[in-house]
A and B are shown apart, each in its own frame.
Chain A
Amino acid sequence: MKDLVSLLNVFTLLSLMAVGGGTAVIPEMQHETVTVHHWVTDTQFAAIYSLGQLAPGPNMTMVGIIGYHAAGVAGFLLVLFAFYFPASLLTYGVSYIWDRYRENPWREAVQRGLAPITIGLMLAGVYAVGKTASFNLDRPLWFNGVTLGFGLAIVLLLFWKRINPALLILTCGVLGWFILR
């Protein structure tokens, strides 16, 4: 029961702090769910985050799996509710009022001001997941070479050509199964 209350609190707060999109709260989510509440391990967090990339729809729906690890089916449903409902309610209410203030110059100030903060948070997300998934001192050096290589290859490929990221991720899954066993 205590876990359910904490799950509700943590994920509601996370969704309300997601400025510029869901990826902005990855580092804070990892800190809360791994270090503070021990619902999942570092490795599990990285794996669960990646599962989100494999499914259609909003990638962040993977938060349900963290809830499942913490408190079973109830945790799954509760976390999805906490992550989506309050933020959607806020959007519903504010967008209703917003229509009147569309021309307000402060709207642009908010967007421009928050943009670099969002980028900083996304970088922190890369670091948070990367220090487990890409360069992890618990693993042998060759292993880290392969995981770093996968990440860099994807960055280059995506800048070079428009490829569906889900395909790239699946490919790395298959390659990982061959190389990283």
Chain B
Amino acid sequence: MNESARVTQPPSIGRIFRAFALIGISSFGGGLVAYLRDVVVDRERWLTDDEFLGALEIGQTLPGLNSTNVAVIVGRQLRGPRGALAAALGLILPGAVILSVLGVLYARLHDNPDVTAALAGVAAASVGLLLQVTLKIGGRQFLRPKDLMFILPTFLMVGVFHVSLVTTLLLLAPIAIWMNRPAALKKPPLSSSESRP
């Protein structure tokens, strides 16, 4: 393991909590993974870039939110279960406090025509945001028949016909994973291919 970027003494639980709480309170507008990398790799130097990417890969593959998964993994590597708890709570709590205030205000005021009009604008904008993220992440997948073969049925089943998500995943995921099984991957060899046995 590369120890050069690692501080010798693991940080205290309080320090972990504060570092993640700082992200939790400043990360307006989404894109949390970038904020996480800034703090964990650049500022605190708890992980190297490669170690962070490793944590991100796991966090993205496992179910749950990518950002909280990464927080749990980094916290665990630093300080075991209590580190994981401190990191996840730090990330979530500030937003949760703000949303509890917004939520109570919304519950009181949602019949107010001014609030309704403003929130109609906000909601319309959120749809645009979600669509843009989908198009950006999807990228070339929308042009590849092999990927469209799963994008469209998933969209139709869950979005239009309300087939339950469990059923959809149990039906489509095994086929999708099987089609990408190690032996079937015919991508051009990477530069590191000669290092493989």
Contact = CB atoms under 8 A, between A and B. Distances in A.
Interface of A: 13-23, 25-28, 31, 35, 44, 46-62, 64-65, 68-69, 76, 80, 84, 87-88, 90-92, 94-96, 98, 102, 105-130, 132-134, 143, 146-148, 150-155, 158-159, 164-177, 179-181
Give 8 nearest A-B pairs by CB, closest first.
Answer: A176-B121, A57-B95, A120-B154, A124-B159, A154-B128, A87-B64, A151-B128, A172-B125
Contacts of A26: 130
6 contacts: A53-B122, A88-B88, A119-B134, A119-B138, A127-B155, A130-B131
B111 to A, nearest CB: 11
A153 to B, nearest CB: 7
Given A119-B137, A126-B127, A155-B128, A60 B65 contact: yes
B129 A21 contact: no
A148 B57 CA distance: 35
Contacts of B61: 107, 110-111, 114
Contacts of A84: 64-65, 68, 88, 92
B124 A88 contact: no
Contact of A123 (B119, B149, B155): B155
B81 A92 contact: yes
B7 interface: no
Interface in B28-58: 28-30, 32, 54-55, 57-58
B127 A44 contact: no
A61 B177 contact: no
B174 to A, nearest CB: 8
Given A47-B122, A120-B152, A59 B30 contact: yes
B141 interface: yes
Q: Which of A17, A111, A121, A148 is packed against the most chain B CB atoms within 10 Å?
A: A121
Contacts of B150: 116-117, 120
Interface in B70-99: 72-73, 76, 81, 84, 88, 91-96, 98-99
B12 interface: no
A179 B159 CA distance: 30
A58 B166 contact: no
B132 A158 contact: yes
Given A57-B24, A108-B180, A116-B147, A94 B132 contact: no
A102 B132 CA distance: 32
A152 B81 CA distance: 44
